Amino acid sequence: MSSQTPAWMEEEQGRAATQAATGRTVNSKAKTAPKVKPIKRSTKGFQVDDERAAKWDQLVAQMKNDKANKRTGPQLHDEALDYIFEKYLKT
């Protein structure tokens, strides 16, 4: 390797090449996190007046930065729609 590459990096690259060649991993028996399927989403067009759009953008930014109750825009959309359904759908 080049003379500017630290010795430890050359050692790690050699180890990685050996592992890639053998197909082994360092800890192949370690548990892996379960894969979470993403929610299937559909795009719906909404027309919102400028004042409500500005409030929405402010709310989304505020909730993204809230460490205790963090929510993203799509999560807030779902929550808002759930409130509307609860109020207006009589099932």
For residue range 12-50, list pLDDT tens digits in order.
Answer: 999 888 888 887 777 778 888 888 888 888 888 889 899
Nearest to 60 by CA among 71, 44, 48, 69: 71
CB 88 within 8 A of CB 80: no
For residue range 72-82, list pLDDT tens digits in order.
Answer: 888 999 999 99
Nearest to 56 by CA among 77, 70, 41: 77
Q: Where are the domains of the chain?
A: 45-91
CB 60 within 8 A of CB 76: yes
What are the residue ranges of helices labelled H in 1-91? 7-22, 50-65, 73-88
Using CA atoms, how far apart are residues 88 and 67, in angstroms rounded to an integer?
32
